[in-house]
Amino acid sequence: AAGVIQSPRHLIKEKRETATLKCYPIPRHDTVYWYQQGPGQDPQFLISFYEKMQSDKGSIPDRFSAQQFSDYHSELNMSSLELGDSALYFCASSLGANNSPLHFGNGTRLTVT
């Protein structure tokens, strides 16, 4: 069965650079969630989209933005990168916004040097 696809798997950027992370949900899934997991930390919710509209917002810095496109894939744009942005970024998808299970991608590991 198709899973959530995230690209790239690994990304190395320098401070003050920009990064774009991509997420392709499971086919027919209309809801996407982004999480940030720092080293030794639990995943922290950043933002979610339902039917291409932002539906919830968590602890996402103003330097970050995201959107969901017409084909339901989502992109997380990160600007003015800081060392503290180094983390594993997970995308998850679900069918519907509420009660169906979240399926996680394998994550993008971002390293800021």
Partner 1 sequence: AQTVTQSQPEMSVQEAETVTLSCTYDTSESDYYLFWYKQPPSRQMILVIRQEAYKQQNATENRFSVNFQKAAKSFSLKISDSQLGDAAMYFCAYRRGGYGGATNKLIFGTGTLLAVQP
Binding site for partner 1 (CB under 8 A): 31, 33, 37, 41-45, 48-50, 55-56, 58, 88, 90, 92, 97-99, 101-104, 106-107, 109
Q: Which is nearer to partner 1, 19 or 48 (CB)?
A: 48
Between 41 and 113, CB nearer to partner 1:
41
Q: In the 8-state DSSP scheme, what is residue 45? A: E
Is omega for the bond preceding 101 within 30 degrees of 0, making it cis?
no
CA 82/CA 79 separation, integer angstroms: 9
Report the nearest approach of partner 1 to the CB of residue 113 (Å).
Answer: 20
Which ranges of 1-113 does DSSP label H, i.e. alpha helix?
Answer: none
